Amino acid sequence: MTSVKIINRSKNSLPHYGTEAAAGMDLRANIEEPITLKPLQRTLVPTGLFIELPVGYEAQVRPRSGLAFKHGITVLNSPGTIDADYRGEICIILVNLSEEPFVIENGERIAQMVVAKHETVKWEEVEVLNDTQRGEGGFGHTGKK
């Protein structure tokens, strides 16, 4: 288990795992008044959270499946990446892809966050890449079935 420093300037509880095997933790809206998100409108929702990730880690902000399926609410830049050197407030870009307005209330679970290790790469320029069975096959190259 990795320790991550966090400042919570909201009245909400800290993000936590809903089950023992969960990968993501719910993030909650930290707003003074409800926000009405009209169809196809996007907004930036603050969480009141500030984190200090260890170098070599990132936090990914992802949609909540229930909000997406039931209400058409999703994270616009999904997954959003929080880098280890970012110290600002975690804010969530939400978009309403439904045909109905959606009201975001203070404390509402609006997204989930997954903390994960990542690699830093060093590019090695070459003239030729090794062949694979797939080769240059792009989108849909394996057919419909």
How many domains does the chain fold into? 1
Domain presence at residue 44: yes
* Integer Cα distance of 36 and 101 in angstroms: 6
Q: 24 — phi, psi (to 5°)?
A: -110, 155
Domain presence at residue 109: yes
CB atoms inside a 10 Å sphere around CB 75:
23
89: amino acid identity, one letter:
E
Query: Which CATH number is 44's domain given?
Result: 2.70.40.10
Q: Per-residue pLDDT for the chain (145 aa), expressed as one digit of tens each?
A: 899 999 999 999 999 999 999 999 999 999 999 999 999 999 999 999 999 999 999 999 999 999 999 999 999 999 999 999 999 999 999 999 999 999 999 999 999 999 999 999 999 999 999 998 888 877 776 777 6
The CA distances from residue 130 to 25, 121, 127, 133, 138, in Å, are 39, 18, 10, 10, 17
pLDDT value for 71: 98
What domain range is 92 assigned to?
A: 5-10+24-117
Enter the DSSP assignment of 17.
Answer: B
